[in-house]
Structure 1
């Protein structure tokens, strides 16, 4: 079933509701929430998408996320995706948003951060593998493995945000 999402403008103002499929096909901006998950030691959760998923099967990702359905905030979407994909309840903190033009279509990406337990229970229909990497290890992995198109830009902006706010 195709989800309904809110079409937004460059300033993140809602213009209307459309199907996610239509947003992707027509290149309409819509909201997507992504959470960079860290453990208590500061390592980042990286995962490889299942071969069964429709978008970017088998590629690695820096965060956990998905489209915000109509009426859902970035934070609500991020929390829902964490529960669906990793089987955890957490309150991700919205750090920043930006217009991401890499991926299937342009979208406004809300980047969150959450400290999560090391013992996650990923949905095997969504996640084929996961592991914890330090920031330098993740930087190397981004060069050596096949990541989703937006992982590189997301990680770059995430590091810049953390640097500016530390």
Structure 2
């Protein structure tokens, strides 16, 4: 069965429920819930998507997440995706949302934060590699490696929001 998502407008108001593939083909905005993970030391999780991933295969990212199902909140979807992709159940905290027009179609990213204290059990169909980087290490590589465009934007906004000690280090979008 196809994945159903809520087609939303430029203000993130629901217009209807559609298949995700149709939303992407028609360039209709829909919702994606994501989480930026930190460990107890404050490092940020960086992952490389599997080569078989349907969107941005082999790219690096700092966000774990996926489509918000019809009727689901950003927070519910973020927690579900964290469990599905990393095998952990940690509380997620909503940080901000923004409309991103880069990538496969316009999406509203609901960005969350989680402190991960459990061992990771990544889904190999989603994640090929993962590692923890300090903000300084991440800032050195984010523009040198092939990163998911929305993940790069979300990281900049996240750091600029004061969530991390390196606010503003990544420069302008």
What's the TM-score once normalised by structure 2's chain length? 0.91
Structure 2 gaps of 5+ residues are: 168-173
Matched residue, 1:41? 41
CA contact 1:36–1:113 (8 Å) conserved in 2 = yes
CA contact 1:60–1:145 (8 Å) conserved in 2 = yes
Please state how far the C-alpha of 1:163 moved relative to its aligned partner.
5.9
Matched residue, 2:70? 70
Please state how far the C-alpha of 1:136 moved relative to its aligned partner.
1.1
Please state how far the C-alpha of 1:63 moved relative to its aligned partner.
1.1
Task: Give every structure 1 segment of 4 or more consecutive aligned residues whose post-TM-superposition deviation is greater than 3 Å.
Answer: none
Please state how far the C-alpha of 1:54 moved relative to its aligned partner.
1.0
CA contact 1:39–1:118 (8 Å) conserved in 2 = no
* 2:94 counterpart of 1:89: no
Aligned pairs, number: 165
Matched residue, 2:149? 149
* 2:125 counterpart of 1:125: yes
SS state of the match for residue 34, structure 2?
A: strand
Change in 2 beyond 3 A, CA 1:108/1:144: same
Please state how far the C-alpha of 1:140 moved relative to its aligned partner.
1.1
Q: Deviations over 1:18-66 (max 9, x none)?
A: 1101111111111101100000110000000011111111111011011
Change in 2 beyond 3 A, CA 1:45/1:118: farther
Higher helix share: 1
